[in-house]
Amino acid sequence: MAKTTSTSGLQLWLQRLIAAGFLGGQVFLHLLRAKIHRRNTLDQMSIVGPESLTIALLTAAFVGMVFTIQVAREFIYFGAGTTVGGVLAIALTRELAPVLTAVVIAGRVGSAFAAEIGTMRVTEQIDALYMLKTDPIDYLVTPRVLACAVMMPILTILSLLTGMAGGLLIANSLYDISPSVFLRSAQNFLQVWDLFSSALKAAIFGALIGIIGCSWGLTTTGGAKGVGQSTTTAVVTALLSIFIVNFFLSWLMFQGTGNASIE
């Protein structure tokens, strides 16, 4: 009995994941036709961006400080203390800033999307939109997906700067690495492509969060209990998607040996 329940739950999850894929395609087509509800989009951008800024920056600051604590001592031991800033910059830009910001937004915003739209579904407000000849994709989904895709790169860049500031504070106060050495190292390590790839990753993660949150909300059934289950599953699915997509994006963007060479 338990095995049957688990199998049916997996089948339902796969069906909803496929539905999310189709929803993403519909959103893309609507954007190509410039079907954008501007007021809703601006409202959602405010929710995704300014209202999420504090928690995203706090997360980045402490991640930067912890990373510096973990790395600086070992680097100094091996005589590579001058590279701490560059290593932190690379780690934050390529991985930590976009991924951790996406995790924060998935937990805060993706869950809210699923709960809000799921409640509208079980209370038949979605059906009312159809009765009023209003497309829920134009009115509900596209603004949320667009807001996440636009605001995520901005949040990621701000998180990068905050993480670097946190790392600089720890490097200077605990390990006597001067700010000039720290920042020069970061400048030498970073390239324009690193910043571009970080923003691109963030935009893709944002679109994933918006699509999955909205799709799980639209496919909610079962009243209040169903809304709670959809919210939880949407966040888990968004996080899993972020980690999987991040692997493939990193594999595509950073193959080869880069600037490294073996003498």
Dump pLDDT digits (tens) for 66-110.
Answer: 999 999 888 888 888 899 999 999 999 999 999 999 999 999 999
- Quote the CA–CA distance of 137 and 143 in Å, as a whole number: 9
Q: Looking at the domain assignment, is residue 36 inside a domain?
A: no
Average pLDDT score, the chain: 90
Q: Looking at the domain assignment, is residue 66 inside a domain?
A: yes
Structural domains of the chain, count: 1
DSSP string, 95-115: IIHHHHHHHHHIIIIIHHHHH
Q: What is the mean pLDDT of residues 118-145?
A: 89
Q: What is the mean pLDDT of residues 225-254?
A: 93
pLDDT at res. 65: 96
Q: Looking at the domain assignment, is residue 2 inside a domain?
A: no
Q: What is the mean pLDDT of residues 221-233?
A: 89
Residue range of the domain that includes 97: 42-251
Q: Using 50, 70 and 90 to split pLDDT, how confident is the model at 261?
A: very low
Q: Looking at the domain assignment, is residue 238 inside a domain?
A: yes
Each residue's pLDDT tens digit, 146-156: 999 999 999 99
pTM of the complete model: 0.91
% of residues, the chain, pLDDT over 70: 95
- Quote the CA–CA distance of 150 and 138 in Å, as a whole number: 17
Angle between helices 50-77 and 97-105 (to 10 degrees): 140
Q: Looking at the domain assignment, is residue 261 inside a domain?
A: no
Name the residue with higher pLDDT: 225 or 155: 155
Region label for 34, one of left (φ > 0), alpha (ψ between -120 and 50) or beta (otherwise): left
Q: Looking at the domain assignment, is residue 1 inside a domain?
A: no
Are residues 157 and 198 in contact, defined by beta-carbon separation less than 8 angstroms?
A: yes
- Among 193, 228, 217, smallest CA distance to 121 is for 217
Q: Looking at the domain assignment, is residue 191 inside a domain?
A: yes
Q: Looking at the domain assignment, is residue 260 inside a domain?
A: no
